[in-house]
Structure 1
Amino acid sequence: MRRILVCQLRQIGDVLLATPSLELLHRHFPNAEVHVLTERKCTPMLQGNPAVHTVWAIDKKELGSLAREVAFYWRVARTGFDVVVDFQQLPRCRWVVAMSRAQVRLSYTPAWYNRWLFTHWVRPRDGYAAMAKASVLEPLGVRWNGERPRLYLSDAERDAARGLLASLGLAEGQRLITVDPTHRRVTRRWPAAHYGRLLSLAAARDPSLRFMPLFGPGEEDDVRAVVAACDCPEKVLMPDRMLSLREMAACIDQAVLHVGNCSAPCHIAVAVGTPTFVIRGATSRAWSFPAPEHFHMALGLDCQPCNRNECANPDQLACLVRLTPEAVCQAMLDHLAAVSR
C-alpha cells in the first residue's frame, strides 16, 4: 500500500467528519501516503493534519473550462493510487475514480449506473455521521472505534485568538461562549430573536459569561439581528469583520462552550475539543458526536427529524419557533455546569 486517495469535496463540516477516516487509514497503513481531494474552501479543515500527506484542492475559478478540469482530474488520478475512497459520488469524484487505476475503489452502495466505477461498496452503518463514513472502509479491515473529528491548530493561531478576544473586551475571569445563530436552511435555523433572548437570560443568570457570534459570507445581518434582540450588547464580542475558518476555530478553541445550530461550527467545536450545545430543528442526532460533553436539544415533535429543507408542517417551523429561549437557557446552563466540573 503506497498511496490512498479520499474524495470528500464539500461541505466544510462534512470534510471535518471525514477526518476520523483519514486518521484510521493513516493508523492502519502507516507507510502509505493519504491524499485528499476536496474543494479549496474546505482545505483549512485539513491544514496541519498529520494523517494527510497531500491535499488536492479543486478551485472552480482556476478550472474554468472542461479541458482544464479533465487535465486536473487526470493529474490527480494518475498519481498512482492503490486505493480510492469516494465518500460522495459527485461528478468530479467520478472523473477521478474512473481515470484511476486503483485496484481497490470503495464507496457506499452506488446506483446501478455507477457500479462499474467501484470494486467494493458498503451500506453505511446507521448512527453518527463520521462513523457512517468510516464504515465504507470496512472492506480494508478498518473500523471506527469512537474517533472524533480533529482540527489541528498551531500555538501561533491560539495566541492570535487570545489577542483578538482580549481586544474585543474578554477579560480574565470571564468565560467565553461562541454562538452560531446562522444556517442557510430555514428548517435548521433557530430564530434570531430567540438567540437574542437566550443571551439576555444567560447573562442575567451568570454575569461571567461573554458571547461571540460567528458568521460566514452574507450572514452578518443575521448576527446583527441577534445582537439587536439582546438586552446586554455590551457582553457580546462582535468582531468587525468575518473571521477566517482557522480564526473561527481558534476562537472556538478558547471557549468553554459552543452554542448554535447544526452546522459546520459545531463540528469545528468537536474537532478542537470544545463542548457543544446544539439546537436541532430538521436534523437528527446522527450529526452529534456521541459523548456527554456534546448535547443536542430538540422540541421532540412527531415530525422530527424530517431532514427537509422546507417545512411541511402546517404549523410552520414549530420545531424551532416553539422551542423557547427559557427552556434552552436552563438546559444550556445545566450542560455548562456539567462540562465545567
Structure 2
Amino acid sequence: MKDITGINPKRILVCQLRQIGDVVLSTPSVALLHRKYPDAEIHVLTEEKCAQVFDNNPAVSHVWSIVKKELRNPLKAVSFYRRVGRAGYDLVVDFQQLPRCRWVMMFCNAPVRLTYNPPWYNRLLYTNWPEFIPGGYAAKYKAGVLAPLGIEWKEERPEIFVSDAEREQARVCLESLGVSDAEPLITVDPSHRRETRRWPAEHFGKLLALITEQRPSFRFFILYGPDEKSVAETVRDFSGLGNRCVMLEKPGSLRLMAALIDRAVLHIGNCSAPRHFAVGVGTPSITIPGSSSSAWTFPSPEHVEVVPDLECQPCGKEVCERGDLACLTGLMPENVLKNVLEIV
C-alpha cells in the first residue's frame, strides 16, 4: 500500500450508514478529518433515519441520505450509488463495508479509499487500511481507521450540535407538559429492541420514585421510539409520580431528543443511541448495559455504566444463556440510585 500521510484532499466522503448510535460515534472521526484537512469539503453517506445526527455540524458540508423506499428500484439504486461515487472525491473513508457502501466503492474513482482491514473479497475496492486497530471505546476504534493518514484519536468525544432554535423547541415542548425552566430534568431511555440490553421497565419506574424521595424537585422525561410507547407508559405508571414524569404522545425527532438531553442534568438509560447523544451534548449519563461491553462507554467519570458482579457479563449475546437475564433483573434500582446521587 502507498503512503498516504502526505495527501491533501479537497473533497472527502465518510460512509457510516447505521445504526443511529454508531453514526453518533463516527462524529469524532469526522471532526479529526476536518482538523487535519480544514480546507476540504467533508460529505457523509448515511441512512435517512440517521441523517439528522449531522445537522448543524460545522465539519460537514453535505449529507447523502439513503432513502430505502426510493432505492427499491434497482436502476434508481445503481444511479444513486454512481452519483455518490463519481462526486469528485479525493479520499473516501468507509467505516462499515456494507453492501450499499460497496456499491459506491465500485463506482468511485477516488485515489484513496480507506477502510478497516477488509476480507479478501473486498480488497479490490479499497486502496488503504490499517493492519491492526487497538480495541477500547467504539469511537476510538472507528478513528483507528484513520491511522494511515497520520490521524490519532486523543479522547475526542462524539459531538451533537444543538442550535438555539432547537433548545427553544425543547423548552416549549417541556412547557406544554408542565415542566418549567427552573425545574431540573432527567431524561430516561427505558427501551431497547434486544431483551439482553433492556433493564425492566418496572425497575426504571421504581428508580424514578427513589430519586424523587431524595431529589423532590426533579422532573423526568421518558424517551421512546417507534413501537416503544408501551414500555415508556409502564415506566411512568410504575413510578407513581403522576405528572412529574412526562412523555410525548408520539415519538419526537432526533433533534428534539438531542435538545431535551441537552436541557437535562442527567440521562439514564439502556445501551442505545440516546446514551451517545448524552455524550454528544455534554450531559452526564448512567447506563445499564446488560450484555453490552464497556466499549460503548465514553471514558469519563461523567459517563457511568452500572453492572452487577457476574462472571458472564458482558457476554454480548442477544439471548441469555443463563435464562434469567441476571445482569438486568438482578440489578436493583437501589444499586443504580447510588450512582445517580453521586452525579446530581
The TM-score, its normalising length taken from structure 1, stands at 0.96
Contact 2:11 2:42 in 1 (8 A): yes
Amino acid at match of 2:334: E
Amino acid at match of 1:13: G
Give 1:172 deviation, angstroms: 4.9
Distance 1:250 1:172, change over 3 A: closer
Equivalent residue for 1:185? 194
SS in 1 for 2:269: strand
Contact 2:236 2:246 in 1 (8 A): no
Amino acid at match of 1:260: G
Q: Which moved more, 1:221-230 or 1:185-194?
A: 221-230
Q: Which moved more, 1:145-154 or 1:327-336?
A: 327-336
Given the alignment, which residue of 319, 322, 341 partners 1:333? 341
Given the alignment, which residue of 32, 45, 48 partners 1:37? 45
Task: Tell me the C-alpha RMSD between the 2 structures.
Answer: 1.1
Equivalent residue for 2:173? 164
Give 1:81 deviation, angstroms: 1.0
Contact 1:173 1:208 in 2 (8 A): no
Equivalent residues in 2 for 1:14-93, closer than 5 Å:
14-93=22-101
Equivalent residues in 2 for 1:96-107, closer than 5 Å:
96-107=104-115
Contact 2:194 2:318 in 1 (8 A): yes
Deviations 1:196-235 (A, max 9, x none): 1111111111101111000000000111111121121231
Amino acid at match of 1:54: H
Write the distance in 1 (CA, Å) between the matches of 2:262 and 2:182: 17
SS in 1 for 2:145: helix
Distance 1:172 1:117, change over 3 A: closer
Are 2:306 and 1:292 equivalent residues in the alignment? no
Deviations 1:269-298 (A, max 9, x none): 111111111111011111111111111111
Write the distance in 1 (CA, Å) between the matches of 2:225 and 2:182: 29
Given the alignment, which residue of 270, 281, 291 partners 2:290? 281
Write the distance in 1 (CA, Å) between the matches of 2:313 and 2:76: 44
Equivalent residue for 2:12? 4
- State the aligned residue count: 335
Equivalent residue for 2:127? 119
Are 2:238 and 1:229 equivalent residues in the alignment? yes
SS in 2 for 1:37: strand
Write the distance in 1 (CA, Å) between the matches of 2:284 and 2:170: 18
Write the distance in 1 (CA, Å) between the matches of 2:343 and 2:30: 31
Write the distance in 1 (CA, Å) between the matches of 2:88 and 2:249: 46
Write the distance in 2 (CA, Å) between the matches of 1:321 and 1:45: 32
Unmatched 5+ stretches in structure 2: 1-8
Q: Percent identity?
A: 54
Q: Which moved more, 1:11-20 or 1:96-105?
A: 96-105
Q: Which moved more, 1:193-202 or 1:108-117?
A: 108-117
Equivalent residue for 1:239? 248
Equivalent residue for 1:301? 310
Give 1:173 deviation, angstroms: 3.9
Write the distance in 2 (CA, Å) between the matches of 1:303 and 1:187: 12
Write the distance in 1 (CA, Å) between the matches of 2:116 and 2:294: 21
Are 2:330 and 1:322 equivalent residues in the alignment? yes
Give 1:242 deviation, angstroms: 1.4
Unmatched 5+ stretches in structure 1: 337-341
Give 1:30 deviation, angstroms: 1.0
Give 1:240 deviation, angstroms: 2.3
Amino acid at match of 1:43: A
Amino acid at match of 1:40: E
Give 1:159 deviation, angstroms: 1.1
Write the distance in 2 (CA, Å) between the matches of 1:35 and 1:63: 20
Give 1:125 deviation, angstroms: 2.0
Given the alignment, which residue of 248, 257, 271 partners 2:257? 248
Distance 1:311 1:162, change over 3 A: same
Give 1:2 deviation, angstroms: 1.2
Contact 2:18 2:46 in 1 (8 A): yes
Equivalent residue for 1:147? 156
